[in-house]
Amino acid sequence: MTSPPDNDLFTAPYSGLSVNSAKRFVIGQLREAGLDSPDLDARLLVMAATGFSHADMIARGTDLLSTEALELMSDYTERRLAGEPVDNILGSREFYGRSFKINKDVLSPRPETEMLVDAALEILKETPDARILDLGTGSGAIIISCLAEAAHAEGVAVDMSPEALTIAEQNAKTHGVADRLTFLCGSWFEPVTGVFDIILSNPPYITDEAMTALDIEVAKFDPELALRGGADGLTAYRAIISEAEAYLKPGGSLLLEIGYDQGQTVFNILQALPYEDVSIHRDLSGHERMIKALLKS
Ligand code: GLN
């Protein structure tokens, strides 16, 4: 077996490169560029380029790369070097134990958002055939996880972006919940009718000022529509909270993800309306991440 050249591997008319050598080469490139997790990223990119599983990576490390796999690996590596997150390159992201298709039209679901699913499932234990509404569904990760875990629940998912809804619909089919989930295109409650046991949302909450200082991976690869929350970051909360009352059953729950410093202000917005049992919940890093309120019965 030959080893890779020191110069640009991908432009060399190269043959006989093993999976292991390819991975080492990609690790070197990513490390040199100062990326955070070169080993893991390289492994995932080589797996995607070759179609190898984790087990294949161990058992078949000396297999030679096909020309096709080499080209794909070259493309993926260049994209990673340009700052694109691995999840976007692979087109999928893990959330609540399932893989969700993602692309530039949807926010990549973050691990801390799993809190909303936990909170919804807690409520669903008491109300097994509940109706759930997800506002700004994006990839659909939150509501699809809820419906996949709670077999009798039904849901409505809303997004302003038709492109996002296309992705969410595919994810709903993949996870077997499409028959219990209706998708509507519009702004917040605008296309919605009926009442719900749970209304949940991870709305855009980043202030205009913070939008200017986002990590490149977020700024370039998550849609602005899913991030920008207006001058004080609270535009979406005002819209959702003021209208939610008309779409919640008495005693129904509102579950909203919040930014780490927005707990008190969102709490105050809720306090001015007929909600009770308003509580702020922290994520695993200790940051305020979710606010929960019940509509007075
Ligand atoms: N949690 C995301 C971030 O900090 C923001 C998501 C949102 O605005 N809802 O990048």
Residue by residue, DSSP assigns 79-99 as HHHTT--HHHHHTEEEETTEE
Is the CB of 206 inside a 6 Å radius of any atom of ligand 1? Answer: yes
DSSP 7: S
Ligand 1 close to Cβ of residue 218 (< 6 A): yes
User: 239-255: per-residue pLDDT in tens?
Assistant: 999 999 999 999 999 99
Residue 201 corresponds to which amino acid? S
Q: What is the mean pLDDT of residues 218-235?
A: 95
> What are 170-216's pLDDT values in tens digits?
999 999 999 999 999 999 999 999 999 999 999 999 999 999 999 98
Residue 5 pLDDT greater than 90, yes or no: no
- The CA 188 to ligand 1 mean position distance, Å, reads 17
Q: What is the mean pLDDT of residues 267-292?
A: 96
Q: Is 97:121 a contact under the CB 8 Å cutoff?
A: no
Q: Write the pLDDT tens digit of every residue in 51-100.
A: 999 999 999 999 999 999 999 999 999 999 999 999 999 999 999 999 99
Going by the DSSP 8-state scheme, the letter that residue 139 receives in this structure is T
Best mutation site among 257, 288, 291 for ligand 1 pocket (most ligand atoms within 8 Å of CB):
257
* 263 half-sphere exposure, CB direction, 13 A CA radius: 15
Residue-wise pLDDT for 124-145, tens only, equals: 999 988 999 999 999 999 999 9
Assess contact for 241 and 273: CB atoms under 8 A: yes
Q: Is the CB of 227 under 6 A from ligand 1?
A: yes
The answer to whether the CB of 183 is under 6 A from ligand 1 is: no
Q: How far is the CA of 227 from the centre of ligand 1 (A)?
A: 6
Helix orientation angle between 263-271 and 235-244, rounded to the nearest 10 degrees = 30
Rounded to whole angstroms, how far apart are CA atoms 195 and 293?
16
Please indicate whether the domains covering 6-82 and 92-295 agree at the CATH topology level.
Answer: no
Q: In this structure, are residues 8 and 21 in contact, taking their beta carbons and an 8 Å threshold?
A: no
What pLDDT digit, counting tens, does each position of 152-181 carry?
Answer: 999 999 999 999 999 999 999 999 999 999
Best substitution site from 87, 159, 206, 287 to test ligand 1's pocket, by max atoms within 8 Å of Cβ?
206
Every domain of the chain and the residues it spans: 6-82, 92-295
Gap between the Cα atoms of 34 and 94, Å rounded: 25
Has residue 11 got a pLDDT over 90? no
Which ligand 1 atom is the nearest neighbour of the CA of 214?
10
Which residue has the CA at smallest separation from atom 5 of ligand 1?
227
Averaged pLDDT score across all residues of the chain: 93
pTM higher than 0.75? yes
Distance 20 CA to ligand 1 centre (A): 36
CATH no. of 6-82: 1.10.8
Q: Is 235 in the pocket of ligand 1 (CB under 6 A)?
A: no
DSSP 176-197: T-GGGEEEEESSTTTT--S-EE
For 39, the enclosing helix (H) or strand (E) is: helix 38-50
Q: For residue 271, what is the enclosing H or E element?
A: helix 263-271
User: What was the pLDDT predicted at 15?
Assistant: 59
pLDDT the model gives residue 157: 98
Q: Which whole number is the average pLDDT over 263-291?
A: 96
Percent helix, strand and coil across the chain, each to the nearest 5? 45, 20, 35
pLDDT of residue 13: 43
Q: State which fold the 92-295 domain adopts.
A: Rossmann fold (3.40.50)
State how far the alpha carbon of 296 is from the alpha carbons of 195, 244, 246, 265, 278, in Å.
Answer: 14, 12, 12, 20, 11
pLDDT score at 7:
41
Average pLDDT in the 255-282 region? 96
Asked if pLDDT for residue 14 goes beyond 80, the answer is no
